Amino acid sequence: MSWVLLLLQTSLRNIFSSFLNMVIGIIILVGTFFFVVGGSLVDSMDKSMSRSIIGSVAGNAQVYEASSADSPAIFDNWQIPDLDPIPDFSKIKGPLMSDTNVKAVVPEGVNTAIVVYGNTIDQVLEKLRKAVSPGTRQPKPVVESLKAHVRQMVLDIQTDMGKVNRIASNGSFDPDAAENLKKASSNTFWNSFDRDPFDHLEFLENKIAYLIPDSDQIFLSYVGTDLDAFAKSFDRMEIVDGQMVPPGHRGMLLSKYVYEEMFKLKSAHRLDQIHEALTEKNKKIAKDPDLQDLVKQNKLQTREIVLQLDPLSGQKAVSILQTALNSKETDLSKLLSAFLDTNDSNFEARYKIFYDQLAPLVELYRLKPGELLTIKAYTKSGSVEAVNVKVYGTFQFKGLEKSGLAGGLSLMDLMSFRDLYGYVTPDKIAETKALEKAAGVKFVARDQAEADLFGGETSDVEQSQQKAINDRAEMGGSNKVKRVDLTQRVYSQDEIDKGVAMGAAILLKDPSQLKATMTRLQAACDKDNLGLKVIDWQKAAGNLGQFVFVAKAILYFATAIIFVVALVIINNAVVMATLQRMREIGTMRAIGARKSFVLAMVLTETVVLGMVFGAIGSALGSAFVVFLNHAGIPASNDFLYFFFSGPRLYPDLNAGSLIGAFFVVLVVTCVSALYPAMMATKVSPIQAMASDE
């Protein structure tokens, strides 16, 4: 036991005795520091990202049809996976819910739709059409205001086209368009509007509206689900605008992030982005090219605001802008351009003026909660299907409000999702039967088709007769097919469950038992021949779920590089230190020290050196992680916002990183010291002592 204490005392005495030892120690300290900090960061990011993915659509696990060519990739919105549908969700819900650790099973399916919006004049013309229609007729002052607005827009288009014509090299851009604009801006056209408003509206819609190229086509990614079950299961979900879709109703909830990005007035949204960068990220317009680009876009793109203002609102806007700019300019476009040319000193004041005084004059959002949205999507067979869905409001996931990944998916009721995906629902079956009955269609069996249609005395084929068509009688008679307003229909839970689903999210009571629960669920699915495959949240997230795996691989690779370099340097340093101590080793051997003692001495000194500096590196790394836990690491972009599960990451000290760091240091120091130690034992005392003479 005494020789062990002697070795430790000698090792501790020699730690700071030479420059080589300090070099070895610093290398070990840096490697250990990096290992502890990096391991804690990656582990904390893993936990944070799992909270983001699990709490925003994926759940703890997912099930899908095992025969599918792909697996779910919920957040890979640019490519919808090729999944075979689960024919009847109700048949799998019970067996999955029977597991004691399953809290909820929520049907889901991801798809991408197309929403096409008309341009600004299209929207105003639609309001005017409703205002003069018998069923939705508005008072005369409202109609006159809309007429004045449309006429002002026509004059604005005419002015813009005149500017284009002046700089065009080949004369007028389009003689027919110029003639149509002249007609639409004339007193004659508007004086005769009330006599035949629909004919005039048709002219404006077909000949004038297309001249404003600001229509939008929005690609909208959404999740079809049981909205009531989804809201109860994912507790991070909260309604921001409007209300929750009533239980059993068709409807949609737009992501607040998408609502702001896609449906808000572009100038206003750019102002919001600049305001957030200045107030929350401490950026400066003068030093940030991206903010300067946003300011430039606002300055140049004022038409969207100008076209929304009717003559009365336009006069108010001019007055507001003249006061704000202390200007006598009367041109609205020039005033807006000057007003939106913001900098660090005037931005906050103008931002407040915009929302307090200008915003009430325009429509900030092209779609409001409670309005219908026409959505088109490609079905499984490749055809295009369209449905009208009422948008009840917007939602977000708490802590992920500004994440484009978590906020990239909107929510749609399961019945509308099935329609858009091309699956036959009870509503479609009923509608088809009603059409067959109204048209007098008779079902003909395949094997009897030729005989019934072309043979003998059959009544299946009627002789065509030439006659005039009475539109009113045909469309309003007793045989009229009445299309049910599906937005008002209430579906039972049984109707929602009994139908196809692309997959289902599984939420657990105890997430720490995920692997065991997945094993039991897969066994139950196989036993009952449900044809399902169970995967965890990380795989269900698609490429996004592999981010932490890649981060860990990079960390371990970098750490391995550091310690391999450290091993070579430590080995060379210990060899040099051993050669410098040959006389000392020879003297020790001459007075009776055995080879085993010399071997143990060199190994112990190197290991103690590594453990001391490793402990210092671990302590410094731990202190740095604790500091980060209090200060937090800010998310500099939307992706990090999602990975951090919020605006900041607060890493926790990972005990596994501490243990792993000590283990790696022990292995590296032992391996690097082994050769020098063996070399020291092979030198005879006489040679060692004589080498210094």
SS3 of residue 442 by DSSP: coil
Six-digit token pair at 585?
Answer: 């080793």
Q: For residue 356, what is the DSSP state?
A: I
The pLDDT score that the predictor gives to residue 611 is 80
pLDDT, tens digit (0-9, with 9 covering 90-100), for 609-655: 778 888 888 899 999 999 999 988 888 777 788 888 888 889 888 78
> CA 75, 238, 539: angle at the middle one, nearest 5?
25
The pLDDT score that the predictor gives to residue 493 is 92
CA-based Rg of the chain, rounded to a whole angstrom?
37
Average pLDDT, the chain: 81
- Cβ atoms of 392 and 247 closer than 8 Å: no
- Percent over 70 (pLDDT), the chain: 76
- Weakest mean pLDDT among 116-120, 237-241, 451-455: 451-455
Q: For residue 57, which of 225, 220, 219 has the smallest C-alpha distance?
A: 225
Which of the pair, 552 or 289, is modelled with greater confidence? 289
pLDDT, tens digit (0-9, with 9 covering 90-100), for 119-167: 678 878 888 888 888 888 888 888 888 888 888 888 878 877 776 666 5
The pLDDT score that the predictor gives to residue 480 is 44
CA distance 505 to 105: 6
pLDDT tops 80 at residue 8: no
- Weakest mean pLDDT among 28-37, 214-223, 320-329, 524-533: 214-223
CA distance 226 to 495: 11
Confidence of residue 292 (pLDDT cuts 50, 70, 90): very high
SS3 of residue 465 by DSSP: coil
Q: For residue 422, what is the DSSP state?
A: T
pLDDT tops 90 at residue 337: yes
Name the most confidently modeled range: 13-17, 63-67, 679-683. 63-67
Q: For residue 250, which of 365, 366, 373 has the smallest C-alpha distance?
A: 373
The pLDDT score that the predictor gives to residue 27 is 80
> CA 276, 279, 282: angle at the middle one, nearest 5?
105
The stretch 77-82 carries a mean pLDDT of 70
The pLDDT score that the predictor gives to residue 249 is 93
- Weakest mean pLDDT among 245-259, 260-274, 453-467, 515-529: 453-467
Widest distance between CA atoms in the chain: 130
- Cβ atoms of 65 and 480 closer than 8 Å: no
CA distance 226 to 112: 18
The pLDDT score that the predictor gives to residue 72 is 85
**If 0-12 CB within 10 Å is exposed, 13-18 middle and 19+ buried, where does residue 242 land?**
middle
Which of the pair, 112 or 544, is modelled with greater confidence? 112
- Cβ atoms of 613 and 30 closer than 8 Å: no
- Give the global pTM: 0.74
**Residue 471, C-beta contacts closer than 8 angstroms, at least 6 positions apart:** none
Domain boundaries, the chain: 2-51+546-690, 67-117+215-258+374-442+488-530, 119-214, 265-364
The stretch 663-676 carries a mean pLDDT of 75
Which of the pair, 287 or 28, is modelled with greater confidence? 287
Confidence of residue 659 (pLDDT cuts 50, 70, 90): confident
- Cβ atoms of 48 and 643 closer than 8 Å: yes
Confidence of residue 89 (pLDDT cuts 50, 70, 90): very high
Which of the pair, 121 or 503, is modelled with greater confidence? 503
Q: How far apart are the first and last CA of the chain?
A: 35
- Cβ atoms of 602 and 588 closer than 8 Å: no
The pLDDT score that the predictor gives to residue 449 is 57
- Distances from the Cα of 478 to the Cαs of 473, 475, 481, in angstroms? 9, 9, 9
Confidence of residue 15 (pLDDT cuts 50, 70, 90): low
Per-residue H/E/C for 657-670 = HHHHHHHHHHHHHH
The stretch 467-491 carries a mean pLDDT of 56
pLDDT, tens digit (0-9, with 9 covering 90-100), for 182-218: 898 899 999 899 889 999 999 998 888 877 766 667 8
- Cβ atoms of 374 and 408 closer than 8 Å: no
Which of the pair, 649 or 556, is modelled with greater confidence? 649
pLDDT tops 80 at residue 479: no
Count Cβ neighbours within 10 Å for each residue of 403-424 and write b for 16 or more, e otherwise.
Answer: bbbbbbbbbbbbbbbbbbbbbe
DSSP-assigned letters across all residues of 1-24? -HHHHHHHHHHHHHTTSSHHHHHH
Which of the pair, 527 or 405, is modelled with greater confidence? 527
CA distance 499 to 610: 64
SS3 of residue 649 by DSSP: strand
Confidence of residue 173 (pLDDT cuts 50, 70, 90): low
pLDDT tops 60 at residue 172: no
> CA 398, 404, 407: angle at the middle one, nearest 5?
50
**If 0-12 CB within 10 Å is exposed, 13-18 middle and 19+ buried, where does residue 401 land?**
middle
pLDDT tops 50 at residue 471: no
- Cβ atoms of 427 and 413 closer than 8 Å: no
Beta strands 102-117 and 216-225: pairing type? antiparallel
pLDDT tops 60 at residue 457: no
- Distances from the Cα of 316 to the Cαs of 159, 323, 359, 361, 612, in angstroms? 21, 11, 12, 8, 75
CA distance 140 to 559: 77
Confidence of residue 583 (pLDDT cuts 50, 70, 90): low
pLDDT tops 80 at residue 69: yes
- Cβ atoms of 38 and 653 closer than 8 Å: no
The pLDDT score that the predictor gives to residue 589 is 62
The pLDDT score that the predictor gives to residue 482 is 47
CA distance 668 to 427: 70
Name the most confidently modeled range: 104-113, 345-354, 441-450, 605-614. 345-354
Q: For residue 98, which of 649, 423, 655, 530 has the smallest C-alpha distance?
A: 530
Spacing of C-alpha 173 from chain mean position: 42
- Distances from the Cα of 525 to the Cαs of 96, 98, 496, 512, in angstroms? 8, 11, 22, 21
- Cβ atoms of 109 and 519 closer than 8 Å: no
Name the most confidently modeled range: 212-226, 255-269, 669-683. 255-269
